[in-house]
Structure 1
């Protein structure tokens, strides 16, 4: 509790600073003239059910992030991980840095760092599912909005979405010429350049070109090779070209081509970063210093295209969405995080043994095709139905090195061909003007052909190719009802099921070649989720306050888990018999006065693994203080029972707040924008330990600026992580108390122009 109170102080301070403004706004509420003058909330249009609807009329917990928030969040060049805890029940972390984000919604996610890992959170970018975890890191720029749908979304979206969906929507081309340019510069040579141009090429064809360039100088000194800044720099460039053809009111075609290139350093691992006997950072840890004797490099190149077609055939509209994605990545790092090797206890910069490895995705190709037919205002009954096809082919290469930046000592490879197809149907029916029912079904079939082998091993002989071909089929669906209590108040209930296809894990680099093939290449069976959600959506105070409340309970059968690291130094897929989660969520936005706009979100997620016999290896030599009971099974020595543990990377409490205060000054507006995000403690791994747990922390951002010419010009000073909070976001448990840190504090200036 003491840690929690300490972490909440910056958030509490920002709320306290806003209280006088809130009080002033509340005192003015009875004034009818003031109420008439006050700004009201615009209707929020979302596409959670693949139709454009008012968020208040959708029976589901949804959070939307608009363009101004995204501008503030990403002003220092941050990637998609900046959304973590800035939406209720959402956590995002990575051991690959910018290249490989791992998403968790309501506690459901996957800690696996393999380039072949599947995730229960689906990311959909411009209507195309991004399945491989590397694809999920494509930058956010020139966005219309970001929408998060919590709970199983198996009926209408892509594949493997039992936890929820994050949906990114780019700004569309327009016939009227326009665009914007935004440039920012800050600490450590951080630069963020973003812009777009749009306009008509002909009376029926319009285009939009969007570009992004982000960079940061190396700012972390590797003490092992002498003075100088060596690590944590990056250069990232992305671009997107869209062409929209609208020859008539009944047809449109939207083509999208996009590219991405990243060159920088891999995630920096820090040996002995976590103090033994607790989860605080060790004394002497400095954010800008490490001591590594291995190489560090990361490169990524990706491209893709999509074609979205829409025909209005009168009573129905036909949609076709074709997608292509391709990405290559290589990441090499000093996994032990140190340069001095000793027996425990270990200090910062010290490790038990050297470990240096690299992973690459030399070949990747994803193809998707969706065809969907939807009704056009059929009165009390509307429906949609369609089919979806997915194919992905990948090759993953893994390398090991001598641990001192030297020659290669091992090579292993994985190959996978994954094909899935589905048919689906959904409908909604107005039983009465106040009561609407919705429901849908989806049949999915998923097949994988996977082969792994170790060509050379650092500690053992080659392992001959091992082939597995798991298959899975499922019928998932949802049923919901929404009742209008009053013109401003809706209540709803939603039952939904979700499905995640069988997964394969075959990291053979450090495996014991004497083990049977079934333990070298592990397969997790299909995962199924059943969820119940009830909620309330209400608009208050003459449409100046919008409130969303949700309570949920879910149960997962055959939960797919990845036991990574530990004393076994391998990654294995497991199925837990069951897991359950339950909690509450809040979404709030309000104009508290003409000048003050506030949003807030909060969630409570209580998760539990329910499997009395499930056991995993703990950290090496129990340096982390495992708190789970030792497994009494003599066939599994050195393992711990994890029944009753919370899901990994699943903080129980998440809270966020944004506030924007603007006042007219001269011919423009002076504004202050602040945002805060809080996460309570969460375990890094499946087992519960003293050390491998995050600390409760709050991070804040600030943006102070002046805009003029009706917002067409703007200059602002910004700060990210303004309290300079420093804590471990994840760890490596096979060597010592190695940790990874959050992003540093960045101050800077930003200028933008619209035309």
Structure 2
């Protein structure tokens, strides 16, 4: 089996020259595919000449996907090797690339996938939920990116680039309405202000009514509604001598429900829904609400000099969030007169709050001119983050009064020096290398002034870390011919130490030391048939040393950080974009990812709910522990696929079109241990769009549907109380109109 991906790569390398000769598959009279340029090496470069496994989603595809109030979770399975999920809701996406991610739901959780929005790193998981709107391009760089993008990037980087202000006047408005009173209104307006100045204002407003009904009397009558508003204003100056400045301010305000947990919806011994599962109805006695307030500003400056360009990127982000939910997913408890659905051993209602979060970043970077055989970049980066987190417990059986409170404080300072260089040996061979030295320091404290059940308070506990790490990468790109490029890349990255203060129900802080990753990948990128077909194939293997893992829930209702001895992964990624015939276009991809935890001594507590653990069980001091050696990483399906098909034809004075998109992912585990109930089955989801555009696509109207087959699937679970699960988005259909000017 290990030879299978290699055979595919070799077969593709030999087959594509023959395919290039058979131009009858493509209509060469058609307009060629748009040239794709990416910034994953901090320069604007052709995607074919970048020795990194990179996938791009451009503005048209993004707007097609984000029609129905979708948030960052809508990216899941849309790109090779990418999964996105959340047990927190719209405001806390968790990213997994090639199986590497973090299941922690703590507000200070670090993630191994970094997100940059307009050159600014958004470190907090709360900041990473910033909506996608008026975006020119999204890029996913897979594999360690620790040289140019820093720590906490061992799995990869997601890069979002907004549409920039231009001298010409332009704008658009796009509005749709759909099922459950869903509405999505997006727009932008910008143009010249004179004397080199230009501006652009963008906005997004998403709304959905509650579509899940609460069947018991309680503080909430319905769930899953939201109103999410985001704004962005950019002011750009371009001088005649090449100096450029870009000031950006953005804000987000979200009010809605937190993640909806559904009690006992999993049939014991299986991962199927119980026979009486009802998507539109629940029975809960707790409150469910979520609010977020996020603002930020950044200033990007660039100065041209004779031999190099100088860049400065300064940014400040701040956010406040409050999220309260009924964690047991039902009503009552075994100690009460009534309970349901099913058995609720004890009630659990909690809230997590971030009353204060501040992030300041500063980068200074020098980049050589691109003329000549040598190019280089060098710079320094500074990061300062401060946050206070509150965890609150409530008594659902006593009118929801607060009966527990814990406070966590964390500061994090990180600085880095980096250097990267490329050398063009000849017209066939390019070499690149990079190095980054990072210093990272954290201070952490946790206390419990109010203990649930009236127990003794917990005095402040303290922890800190102070660590430095060297990251590096080496790569080479061979031009096999005018159409094919082969690359090899070796990279090492790391994730800084982490702390977790789940002290509501325990009296200690958990800590994970740094994890490091060594990745080797080789790939083939090509454009054929006079740029009517573009494709890429990547074969990779990585080794994670001391991976930071999160053991969630379990018998003791405690989430804690741990380090395993090692984890490994390998796989193959394939993607393509093609214009077929005179009216058809097709793009998609397929990735295979194998992951495994390698630690023969790692034993973890298992579910408190009555689940069917399939791992070997050992009894230690009367506690059931599972041996997880050899298990895959959580939320790491073997197969992830995506496909988009578009047909368009002239009609009247415009163009009639049909667009459909589909994603596939195979089964996956939710937790580090394996249990029959806590494993997602394979899932295929699709969408469709039928529309008409006219006046050179200036105006457009369409009918659309998401989750076309109305498939309801289990996509997450809680394991400590009962068989509580989370489900995917329902089918949404509606109509849209857009106009550009």
Place the TM-score, normalised by the shorter chain, in its bin.
Answer: over 0.9
Q: Is the 8 A contact 2:330 2:340 kept in 1?
A: no
Partner secondary structure for residue 689 of structure 1: coil
2:128 is the alignment partner of 1:116: no
Tell me the distance in 2 between the aligned counterparts of 1:498 and 1:636.
Answer: 40
2:180 is the alignment partner of 1:188: yes
Partner secondary structure for residue 73 of structure 2: helix
Equivalent in 578, 582, 590 of residue 578 of structure 2: 590
Residue 734 of structure 2 corresponds to which residue in structure 1?
A: 748
User: What is the Cα deviation at residue 227 of structure 1?
Assistant: 13
1:261-320 residue CA offsets vs partner (Å, 9 max, x unmatched):
000111110000111110111211111100001011100001000000011112100000
Equivalent in 473, 482, 499 of residue 478 of structure 1: 473
Partner secondary structure for residue 638 of structure 1: strand
**Unmatched 5+ stretches in structure 1:** 1-25, 512-518
Partner secondary structure for residue 139 of structure 1: coil
Equivalent in 608, 611, 620 of residue 608 of structure 2: 620
Equivalent in 505, 528, 551 of residue 510 of structure 1: 505
Q: Give runs of aligned pairs for residues 526-545 of structure 1, distance below 5 A.
A: 526-545=514-533
User: What is the Cα deviation at residue 650 of structure 1?
Assistant: 0.7
Q: Is the 8 A contact 1:85 1:91 kept in 2?
A: yes
Partner secondary structure for residue 56 of structure 1: helix
1:595-639 residue CA offsets vs partner (Å, 9 max, x unmatched):
111111111110000001111110015x1211111235x358222
Partner secondary structure for residue 243 of structure 1: strand
Tell me the distance in 2 between the aligned counterparts of 1:594 and 1:408.
Answer: 65
Q: Is the 8 A contact 2:515 2:548 kept in 1?
A: yes
1:117-175 residue CA offsets vs partner (Å, 9 max, x unmatched):
00000000000000000000000000001000000000001431010000111000011
Equivalent in 731, 734, 744 of residue 717 of structure 2: 731
Q: Is the 8 A contact 1:250 1:313 kept in 2?
A: no
Q: Is the 8 A contact 2:220 2:286 kept in 1?
A: no
Residue 419 of structure 2 corresponds to which residue in structure 1?
A: 425
2:139 is the alignment partner of 1:147: yes
Tell me the distance in 2 between the aligned counterparts of 1:97 and 1:311.
Answer: 42
Q: Is the 8 A contact 1:355 1:401 kept in 2?
A: yes
1:98-117 residue CA offsets vs partner (Å, 9 max, x unmatched):
01000000000000000010
Partner secondary structure for residue 470 of structure 1: strand
Residue 259 of structure 2 corresponds to which residue in structure 1?
A: 267
2:555 is the alignment partner of 1:567: yes
User: What is the Cα deviation at residue 415 of structure 1?
Assistant: 0.1
Closer, same or farther: CA 574–596 of 1 in aligned 2, 3 Å:
same
1:343-392 residue CA offsets vs partner (Å, 9 max, x unmatched):
9xx97454221100000000000000000000002400100000000000
2:356 is the alignment partner of 1:368: no
Residue 31 of structure 2 corresponds to which residue in structure 1?
A: 39
Q: Is the 8 A contact 1:88 1:586 kept in 2?
A: yes
Tell me the distance in 1 between the aligned counterparts of 2:388 and 2:179.
Answer: 38
Closer, same or farther: CA 462–28 of 1 in aligned 2, 3 Å:
closer
Equivalent in 407, 410, 416 of residue 410 of structure 2: 416
Residue 495 of structure 2 corresponds to which residue in structure 1?
A: 500
Residue 483 of structure 2 corresponds to which residue in structure 1?
A: 488
Aligned length: 719
Residue 9 of structure 2 corresponds to which residue in structure 1?
A: none
Q: Is the 8 A contact 1:129 1:158 kept in 2?
A: no
TM norm structure 1: 0.93
Equivalent in 509, 512, 520 of residue 508 of structure 2: 520
Partner secondary structure for residue 659 of structure 2: strand
Tell me the distance in 1 between the aligned counterparts of 2:538 and 2:737.
Answer: 39
Partner secondary structure for residue 505 of structure 2: coil
**Unmatched 5+ stretches in structure 2:** 1-17
User: What is the Cα deviation at residue 39 of structure 1?
Assistant: 2.6
Tell me the distance in 2 between the aligned counterparts of 1:366 and 1:27.
Answer: 51
Tell me the distance in 2 between the aligned counterparts of 1:383 and 1:364.
Answer: 35
Tell me the distance in 2 between the aligned counterparts of 1:73 and 1:461.
Answer: 51
Partner secondary structure for residue 469 of structure 1: strand
Residue 22 of structure 1 corresponds to which residue in structure 2?
A: none
1:686-709 residue CA offsets vs partner (Å, 9 max, x unmatched):
101111011101110111100000
Partner secondary structure for residue 474 of structure 2: strand
Q: Is the 8 A contact 1:219 1:229 kept in 2?
A: no
User: What is the Cα deviation at residue 677 of structure 1?
Assistant: 0.6
Residue 304 of structure 2 corresponds to which residue in structure 1?
A: 312
1:527-563 residue CA offsets vs partner (Å, 9 max, x unmatched):
0000000000011222111010000000000000011
Tell me the distance in 2 between the aligned counterparts of 1:124 and 1:467.
Answer: 31
1:663-692 residue CA offsets vs partner (Å, 9 max, x unmatched):
111111000111101111111111011110
The runs of at least 4 consecutive aligned structure 1 residues that moved more than 3 Å come to: 26-36, 226-229, 340-343, 346-350
2:314 is the alignment partner of 1:322: yes
Tell me the distance in 2 between the aligned counterparts of 1:540 and 1:385.
Answer: 35
Tell me the distance in 2 between the aligned counterparts of 1:377 and 1:670.
Answer: 43
Residue 6 of structure 1 corresponds to which residue in structure 2?
A: none
Equivalent in 155, 162, 176 of residue 163 of structure 1: 155
User: What is the Cα deviation at residue 470 of structure 1?
Assistant: 1.1
User: What is the Cα deviation at residue 442 of structure 1?
Assistant: 0.3
**Alpha-carbon RMSD:** 1.8
Residue 18 of structure 1 corresponds to which residue in structure 2?
A: none
1:391-438 residue CA offsets vs partner (Å, 9 max, x unmatched):
000000010000245200000000001000000000100111100000
1:551-608 residue CA offsets vs partner (Å, 9 max, x unmatched):
0000000000011100021111100010000000011100012311111111111000
Tell me the distance in 2 between the aligned counterparts of 1:302 and 1:637.
Answer: 43
Q: Is the 8 A contact 1:29 1:35 kept in 2?
A: no
Residue 542 of structure 2 corresponds to which residue in structure 1?
A: 554
Tell me the distance in 1 between the aligned counterparts of 2:543 and 2:649.
Answer: 49
2:650 is the alignment partner of 1:641: no
2:199 is the alignment partner of 1:211: no
Tell me the distance in 1 between the aligned counterparts of 2:76 and 2:167.
Answer: 35
Partner secondary structure for residue 481 of structure 1: strand
Q: Give runs of aligned pairs for residues 35-434 of structure 1, distance below 5 A.
A: 35-225=27-217, 230-342=222-334, 348=341, 350-404=343-397, 405-434=399-428
2:592 is the alignment partner of 1:600: no
Q: Is the 8 A contact 2:26 2:532 kept in 1?
A: no
Tell me which moved more, 279-288 or 521-530.
Answer: 279-288
Residue 445 of structure 2 corresponds to which residue in structure 1?
A: 451
Partner secondary structure for residue 396 of structure 1: strand
